[in-house]
Structure formats: structure tokens, C-alpha cells
Amino acid sequence: MSFMQKIFRRSPWLYRINAGSCNGCDVELATTACIPRYDVERLGCQYCGSPKHADIVLVTGPLTARVKDKVLRLWEEIPDPKVTVAVGICPISGGVFREGLPIEGALDRHLPVDVNVPGCPPRPQAIIEGIAQAIAIWSERR
């Protein structure tokens, strides 16, 4: 790491993509943004509104045929080095929806996933731990 990189360290920004979820995981993600006990800002990161500003992407829900192209396009907009976190069992395996016709399968069949946070929905503590792992991976890649 160069001298300038040490001086100008920055915190990673999080971006959330809903790939067709039931919103259970999204409610738990909202907990990590609003409840001080689980606040991701204590890890030095925050949510952003644009994929172009993101460093870590959090994907919820099974990847559905309807949004697959949009999800992949959004993921491509995130600058490298990016870290992908699958939040909940649905992006990991399809969850209870895996046999459904509109389900495209596990997220890692379509893009690289660095961290899996299992659960239906995962508890806020598990999400925070997954984000901490993602921050460590992101820091290594920088």
C-alpha cells in the first residue's frame, strides 16, 4: 500500500439489489441501517443509492427471470474491486422458491459470490458478520 493510499483510506459503500425476494431479508437489512444496535456504520461503511458508488453489493431474493438481466447489469456497473454478498438462503440456493418456473437458480451460477449469509431471513447479527467478512475481502483486493 502506497503512502497516499494509507493517508486517504476510505470506507466501503454498500448497495442493495433485490433479485425477487419476499422482502424478509430486506426488512433485516433495513435493521442494519436504522437500529443503532446493528448499525453497519460502526463497521465504517454506509449504504449508497447508486451502484457506481458502491464497493460491496448485497443481493437478496432468488434470481428471477424477470429481473436477471437488470441484476447483472447493475452488478456490472459496480466498479472493481467489488465484493458480492448473498443475503439469505434464496440467492444461495433459491430457497423455498427453487423449484419455481421463474427462478434462474443460485446467484453464483450467474456472477461470483464472495460471502454467503444463510438464513430465512438471516438475523441482523449474521448480516453484520457477513458485511465484516466482505469488508476484509474488499480491503485485501484494494
44 class by beta-carbon count within 10 Å (0-12 exposed, 13-18 middle, 19+ buried): exposed
Peptide linkage before 81 cis (omega within 30 of 0): yes
pLDDT tens digits, one per residue of 66-106? 999 999 999 999 999 999 999 999 999 988 888 888 999 89
2 domain residue, yes or no: no
For the CA atoms of 34, 17, 5, 45, the dihedral, rounded to the nearest 10 degrees, stands at 10
CATH of the domain at 23: 3.40.50.12280
pLDDT at residue 110 tops 80:
yes
Count of Cβ atoms closer than 10 Å to residue 2 Cβ: 7
Name the residue range of residue 127's domain: 11-141
Q: What is the pTM of this model?
A: 0.90
Give me the number of domains the chain comprises.
1
pLDDT tens digits, one per residue of 36-52? 888 888 888 999 999 99
Query: What's the Cα-to-Cα distance from 109 to each of 91, 106, 112, rounded to whole Å?
Result: 10, 6, 8
41 domain residue, yes or no: yes
